Amino acid sequence: MIPYSGAEVARNIAVFRIEDEGVRLELEIYPEDLAEFDRAFQVRLASASLTTPAKFHQSSGEGLESVRIARADGKPLPFDLVTLERRQRIDRASPFSGMTDPLTGKPIPSPPENPDVIFLEVFYSFEGARPDTLILSSPYAEDGSPAASIGFMVFDRSVPVSRFSFLNTDTQLTIDWTDPWFSAFTNPNLNRSAKDGTSSFLYVAPRELRHEILIRVRDLAPWIGQEITTGSRLDPALQSRILTAALKEFKDRNPLSISGEAIVPAATRGTFLTLGERGFQVVEGAPTLMADTTFVGVILTYPISELPATASINWDMFDDAIRKVPMTLTDIAGPFFAWASPGEPVVTWTNHLKRYDDPEVAPVQAAGMFVIPVWAVLAVVLLAGAGGVAFLSSRKLIGVGVVALSTMSLFAGIAFSGKNAIPVLIPISGQSYTQIATGALSRLLTNTYVAALEVFPEERKKALEPIVFDASLTDVAAELETSLTIRVPGGGRAQITDVSDVAIVQGEMTGRGRFEGVVQWRVDARAGHWGHDHRRLVEYRARVEFRPDRGNWLLSAITVLEARSPDV
């Protein structure tokens, strides 16, 4: 998730796009602020309509003098006004707009209530002489303060140079014509967050270590025998060759060692990502991509049974483009930052966790219920009958009756003991059957998500054994993999940090402790991935069956009916 400053939902939005022949400005003006930009446009807007936009073209020199793009010497670039029309604002708002930001404690900004804007497309010409420096200026009031609130972003040949910021002063931009990745503002606070073409991330999690890499296609090209230049396009066939070669290269490069012992990845997967207005986005489908903004994301998985003492990455890919590599080492205590360089290529994570216990699936005791096997009930009844006989029969008959009843009790115990015993449950601690069922389900679900931490399907199935009947293991493991696992971009699995709001929608527990019905619950999921902290709330609705067995609650079935994110 990218941070939201409020500039992306400012009343006015300016997007500058640097091209080989000039700069294209896409300007969304809030209707009430039009006069702050240029009163001359108000007359022209009389014929503009939201349904049938009116378009204009005008020569440079008339109107819009308040939004200037100039060369380093202050000489403004001439421009053409290409389009002027009424439109709907582009939706750039966070899906959490209006909510409280947990990091800042402030409300996440929302866009203006009026979605209408005056849209202008303006082209500023280089007139055949490409500048190395540009100065962007916004409109000012008479006292020198900004005349309007403008959120702006700059792209250089599709590469985002900046993040969304407020344009409230003259701003200087240096252009790198050989590679737009290195174009930048002199004010570093305006530049995009992703500054490095190659980044490395080590995630230390229960059951696995993950080494994840983001590398720009142009930086990767020399290592896989490709020649890619500024403006190159990657068609689907070329993408396939690049990804195949990348996975083969990274499987053996930058080796990882655990507690001093070299180890090979158990799985290697990858995908393409593009860097745009909303940060990194995983590419869906097979569109043609721009090499300048395309990255390869690689994930190498190393299964572990417990957290090691140390884990080290020996980065060995250095050249003119990759001179040092930022590395982020993340465990439950938080991220730690380091750099790999030719002089210090090895970066090590050390286990300093003092109070960490590896999560394990534990049996769920049938708490809240007093379990009496039926054979015990029969024995009590039969012995009571024997006592009755004692008062009604002669001493000789008493002896015979006691022997007979004892024999019957023994056979009843044999018949109903063990796995096939049918329990009779008596609530204790003042809890109702509904409360007992809800508590049992909550503990079963929590343990189910612990089993989900296992990397391989067979290990997940084995981890479920303490809480699932043997006959149901295959079906429950399949439901865990397909419906209960929460995926993050790139195919990774999120870790469930909390199970809450468990409730019974339909159904009730029987006197023998069997429950079958529809339930609902909410989970808080979290996953670190390619340097981003992904968090999701997911609400589930499912049909569930469970019952006690030898003092523990065991699942016999779970089928997810609905899974939804309430914040989306």
Cβ-Cβ contacts under 8 Å for 118 (sequence gap 6 or more): 28, 29, 31, 34, 41, 45, 48, 84, 85, 86, 87
| 3-state SS class at 7 | helix
CA dist 175 and 132 (Å) reads 5
| 66, 37 contact by CB (below 8 A) | yes
Indicate the pLDDT class of residue 380, thresholds 50, 70 and 90: low
Tell me if 194 sits within 8 A of 280, measured CB to CB: yes
Whether 80 shows a pLDDT value over 60: the answer reads yes
Contacts of residue 235, defined as CB under 8 A and 6 or more positions apart, other chains included, come to 288
On whether the CB atoms of residues 253 and 322 are closer than 8 A, the answer is: no
Report residue 82 CA to chain centroid gap: 40
Name 24's Cβ contacts closer than 8 Å, sequence gap at least 6. Answer: 16, 17, 121, 122, 123, 124
The sheet with strand 310-314 has its strands ordered as: 261-263, 256-258, 310-314, 346-350
| Global pTM value | 0.79
pLDDT of 501 over the 70 cut: yes
pLDDT value of position 102: 62
Q: What is the mean pLDDT of the chain?
A: 84
DSSP, collapsed to helix, strand or coil, labels residue 466 as helix
At residue 114, what are phi and psi to the nearest 5 degrees? -80, 115
Q: How confident is the model at residue 3 (pLDDT cuts 50, 70, 90)?
A: low
Region 259-282: mean pLDDT is 92
DSSP 523-554: EEEEEEETTEEEEEEEEEEEEEEEEEETTEEE
Question: Which of 411 and 178 is assigned the larger pLDDT?
Answer: 178
How far apart CA 27 and CA 415 sit, in angstroms, is: 83
Judged on CB neighbours under 10 Å (0-12, 13-18, 19+), 12 is buried
Among residues 460, 505, 506, the alpha carbon closest in space to that of 482 is found at 460
Q: Using alpha carbons, select from 444, 436, 446 the residue that is nearest to residue 513.
A: 436
79-94 in b/e burial notation, b at 16+ Cβ within 10 A?
bebebbbbbebbebbb
Residue 557 near residue 543 (C-beta atoms within 8 A):
yes
pLDDT of residue 529: 80
| Cβ-contact 504, 517 below 8 angstroms | yes
pLDDT at 401: 55
Residue 503 scores a pLDDT above 90: yes
**pLDDT given at position 432:** 84
Please tell me which of 135-149, 160-174, 375-389 the model is most confident about, judged by mean pLDDT: 160-174
**Structure-model confidence comparison of residues 564 and 494, the more confident one:** 564
* DSSP H or E run through 268: strand 267-276
| Predicted local distance difference test score (pLDDT) of residue 108 | 80
**Looking at the predicted structure, is the pLDDT value of residue 310 above 60?**
yes
If phi over 0 gives left and psi between -120 and 50 gives alpha, with beta otherwise, what is residue 435? alpha
Torsional sign, CA 134, 139, 144, 148: negative
pLDDT band for position 532 (cuts 50, 70, 90): confident
Q: For 208, what's the count of Cα atoms within 13 Å in the CB-facing half-sphere?
A: 24
Q: Are 298 and 250 in contact (CB under 8 A)?
A: yes
Phi, psi of 323 (to 5 degrees): -95, -30
Q: Per-residue pLDDT averaged across 154-167, rounded?
A: 94
